[in-house]
Amino acid sequence: MNKLALPGRLWLASDLHLSPQTPATAEAFLAFLDAAAQEADALLLPGDIFDAWIGDDVIRAAPPWLASVVAGLAQAGARIPLWLGRGNRDFLMGAELATAVGAQLLPDQVLLETDYGRVLLSHGDEYCTDDAAYQQFRTMVRNPQWQAQFLAQPIPQRLAMAAQARGESMSANQTKSAEIMDVNPQAVLTALRDSAAPLMVHGHTHRPARHVLEVDGKRAERWVLPDWDLDHAQPPRGGWMVLDQDGPVIYDVSPEAD
């Protein structure tokens, strides 16, 4: 398994789902990036930073909303180590984007060596093994040949394909049970056992929580990162994890009242 030594005070956030339709979320995220650059020793964003990512070439002529996010990431990346993980919405983030913002790309699963101890970090969608249809899709879109064929299409066509896929996904999810779209307990136990990590951190499910588990007689924890929505959710929501030698703590975004 991929390993990464990251001492100090780590900040982690995922599932921002930034898009042209999320200006308030983007504004809060930019403020978060500025705070992280001042207070964190490293920043990790393990997936679904964007609601859709159709290829790194979009940053060459980025629309204003995206240009501001890229600039904010670059400002943070110039001040502290920045790591980008790929989620189920932005799995096409690649080297061009990472270079542009001064970041490095996280592998799908990574074992962090932190001041708190070993931490298994991922986006989390790989643990949703009960959703067979999604896992088939996940395997397909992570195939290099499929990605090359998709990226060879013009940007407007890619945008249309992404919108169609999102619509089909939303429709399919309406018929799926909540349990199917959550992590599979056995998949979680297997990952914790294989990694020998007492702490797992992931996003994806939009079910922020702290779960206490037992793995082969030893205590372990699974923390789910909050998702962000300051535009359409009531009340607005969002948050991040700070992890240091004392362990993980979740902080909520507190948007100012209009």
Q: Binding site for Mn(2+): which residues?
A: 15, 17, 48, 88, 123, 204, 206
Question: One-letter amino acid identity for 46?
Answer: P
Query: Residues at the annotated binding site for substrate?
Result: 88-89, 131, 169, 173, 176, 204
Tokens in use for 148? 């090359």
Q: With contact defined as beta carbons under 8 Å apart, do 60 and 155 qualify? A: no
Q: With contact defined as beta carbons under 8 Å apart, do 25 and 15 qualify? A: no
Query: Across-strand partners of 83?
Result: 44, 104
Strands of the sheet containing 82-85, edge to edge, are 104-105, 82-85, 42-46, 10-12, 239-244, 247-252
Total Cβ atoms within 10 A of residue 180: 16
Query: Residues at the annotated binding site?
Result: 15, 17, 48, 88-89, 123, 131, 169, 173, 176, 204, 206
**Chain position carrying tokens 């297997």:** 190
Residues 6+ apart with CB under 8 A from 127: 183, 184, 187, 188, 191, 202
DSSP 206-247: S--EEEEEEETTEEEEEEEPPP-BSSSSSS-B-EEEEEETTE
